[in-house]
A and B are shown apart, each in its own frame.
Chain A
Amino acid sequence: NAGVMQNPRHLVRRRGQEARLRCSPMKGHSHVYWYRQLPEEGLKFMVYLQKENIIDESGMPKERFSAEFPKEGPSILRIQQVVRGDSAAYFCASSPSLGMVNEKLFFGSGTQLSVL
């Protein structure tokens, strides 16, 4: 029973390039969450998606960032025209259904994005 899978583990991009981060939720999970973590800080909520729907993107910057969770395939967090401030660890979590009380989030190992 594989956990939440994220790839790549490490991604290096030059300023102005695009970054694509992928997340495959746990088997049977239909809800995906993306969080960002800066060094020595806690995780910050970015976006919450169900299959083919964005439920809450209030934590995601309005420009350059987008997320999707298609009917087939992994969830994708896309960052266009990356800047050095985008360098961070990006974590994905999944849950089986709409955030029920006591329903725990399972996190992946993250993608470390470094922008040169």
Chain B
Amino acid sequence: GESVGLHLPTLSVQEGDNSIINCAYSNSASDYFIWYKQESGKGPQFIIDIRSNMDKRQGQRVTVLLNKTVKHLSLQIAATQPGDSAVYFCAENGNFGNEKLTFGTGTRLTIIP
């Protein structure tokens, strides 16, 4: 079946450095992608989203890149801070709406002070 997967389960980054979290998706019909951050004991928190008609979108310290050719999504976090330590999930919702988000397994990001 269709799936959304991540390349690396864990990532450690020195505080202040930039981090990149990658995600591969297999549903070529997907047209909306979201990155969520989940801290221990909490629900997923929306970070940034991107539509398939875009290849880049920037937020505050975060950038999402979408490469539809190879079905790859990445989340870049600039100038990482200890509070960025969390599990990051990419998700896609198929052709429309938000009813069924398909989540990847997640990448645990650890910021080293």
A interface vs B, CB < 8 Å?
4, 33, 35, 40-45, 48, 55-56, 58-59, 91, 93, 95, 98-110
Contacts and interface: CB of A to CB of B under 8 A. Distances in A.
The secondary structure that dominates the A interface is loop
Nearest to B3: A42
Interface of B: 4, 32, 34, 36, 41-46, 49, 51, 89, 91, 93, 96-106
B97 to A, nearest CB: 3
A102 B49 contact: yes
A98 B32 CA distance: 16
Contact of B43 (A59, A95, A108): A108
Given A104-B49, A105-B46, A109-B42, A43 B96 contact: no
B51 A99 contact: no
B43 A4 contact: yes
Contacts of B34: 104
